[in-house]
Amino acid sequence: MRIGHGYDVHRLVSGRKLILGGVEIPFEKGLLGHSDADVLLHVVMDALLGAAGLGDIGKHFPDSDEEYKDISSMALLSKVADMLLEKTYIVENIDATIVAQKPKMALYIDDMRKNISKVLNIELSQVNIKATTEEGLGFTGDGEGISAHAVCLITSVRDIASQDIAGSTGCGGCCGIF
């Protein structure tokens, strides 16, 4: 099993849509970024890529590349899912926290979870999203931006297979054959 962590922050600005977890949230401001600036999906991708030892989203989807200008982060998450599949990793779970003074997120969290679980082809119960404020403190508390954190656990299918084989032989892998 491998653990990954992601952290990101984006400034709130006028004239942009607010997209979090692939959900458009009605609000007078949106997040500034090269892509759709979905800070929640960015941290999920960074956590997954980090756990797999594959770097971060800046490495795979650089903001200097016009191909990714205004791209949906859901499309980028799909590419990350393909990378994990290629390396034989499966997602065990994701736990994420959105930090924003406004808007309130409760009405949108279930749709965010559904979007992430669908793209990653995992059960809804494997995705947890929370939201909190910073009680008016700091840049998120002042309404200047939104940040997010995510942790994830992934497992290699190869590791699962070798554990199953070792367990069925009774050897537990201690003999060095597996």
Domains of the chain by residue range: 2-157
**What is the pLDDT at residue 176?**
46
Q: Is 8 annotated as a binding residue?
A: yes
Q: Is 56 annotated as a binding residue?
A: yes
Going by the DSSP 8-state scheme, the letter that residue 106 receives in this structure is T
Name the pairing type of β-strands 30-31 and 145-156: unpaired
Going by the DSSP 8-state scheme, the letter that residue 136 receives in this structure is T
Taking the model in full, what pTM does it have? 0.88
Q: Is 104 annotated as a binding residue?
A: yes
Q: Which residues pair with 24 in a beta bridge?
A: 19
Q: Is 102 annotated as a binding residue?
A: yes
HSE-CB for 73 with a 13 A CA cutoff: 28
Digitized pLDDT (tens) for each residue of the chain, 178 residues in all: 999 999 999 999 999 999 999 999 999 999 999 999 999 999 999 999 999 999 999 999 988 888 888 899 999 999 999 999 999 999 999 999 999 999 999 999 999 999 999 999 999 999 999 999 998 888 888 889 999 999 999 999 877 666 655 555 555 555 444 3
Q: Is 130 annotated as a binding residue?
A: no
- The class level of CATH for 2-157 reads alpha beta
124, 114 Cβ separation under 8 angstroms: yes
Q: What is the CA radius of gyration of the chain?
A: 18
